[in-house]
Amino acid sequence: MRSMRPFLVCIHDVTPAFARETLRMLRDLQPLVGRRLSLGVVPNWRGQWHLTGHPDYCRLVRESSEELLLHGYFHRRQRGWGPTTWLAERSDEMNGLDAHETRRTLERGQQVFTEVFGAPARGFLAPAWQRGHVRAGGGSLSGVEHVLGFFSLESRAGQAVRLTTWTWDCGRWRWLGHVGHGIGWLGQALGRGVPVLASHPRDLERRFWPKILRLTRELLDLGFEPSTPTALLEASDVEIAA
């Protein structure tokens, strides 16, 4: 059985609101990983940036990535609050929804995906890592086949892949990005799972982007191969060596 050492590169908060940042990140990553990355796309960022109004951006996104993930709908909590809401600056959209509203939100997102990309998303990525009522094995997924979380990738069919995630946009303070980096470094040192580099447009503003590119190169130099969530789950005949 052939062994592989995959890692995931995923850009979150992909929306026309951050078109300039998206373009730069894709351009910088292309020489390193090509199209072997996933994008967490927000159908209607904060109710002001609906994808249907930005066909050129949607074309760029579709052509630049092997996998597009549904990343909430508004990426903003509509009601209620909690400590995560405050820390994540109201980005924990799924926390404010009951089970019925959760399903409806995913349905709306899938409708937009189908309209602008020609097909629904196969994967779901929760805003601010907060799933709310979304469960990989539950009835809330609305056509989604797998859920990419912070610690694991889970499929509706019951598959699971353990992950160790680096992330730098961790909330309202820049210094939290060092915590997110440290969590990823520790998980990798302990061999806790497939490495995931979860980047955000704000990583450019907060000056973490050079560190992220450097880490990408380091993983490639160590023999890791860029992959996508769907490819990981489909590699049933390949031993995944984290």
DSSP assigned state of 119: S
For position 240, what pLDDT does the model report? 54
For position 92, what pLDDT does the model report? 94
Strands (E), 19-148: 38-41, 44-45, 49-50, 67-70, 123-125, 146-148
Per-residue pLDDT tens for 90-100?
Answer: 999 999 899 99
Percentage of the residues of the chain whose pLDDT score is greater than 70: 95
Per-residue pLDDT tens for 155-194?
Answer: 998 999 999 999 999 999 999 999 999 999 999 999 889 9
Read off the pLDDT of each residue in 78-98 and give the average, rounded to a whole number: 90
Q: Are the C-beta atoms of 12 and 199 separated by less than 8 Å?
A: yes
Given a cut of 50, is residue 238 above it in pLDDT?
Answer: no
**Residue type for 7, please?**
F
Per-residue pLDDT tens for 195-225?
Answer: 999 999 999 999 999 999 999 999 999 999 9
**pLDDT tier for residue 140 given thresholds of 50, 70 and 90:** low
Read off the pLDDT of each residue in 144-158 and give the average, rounded to a whole number: 94
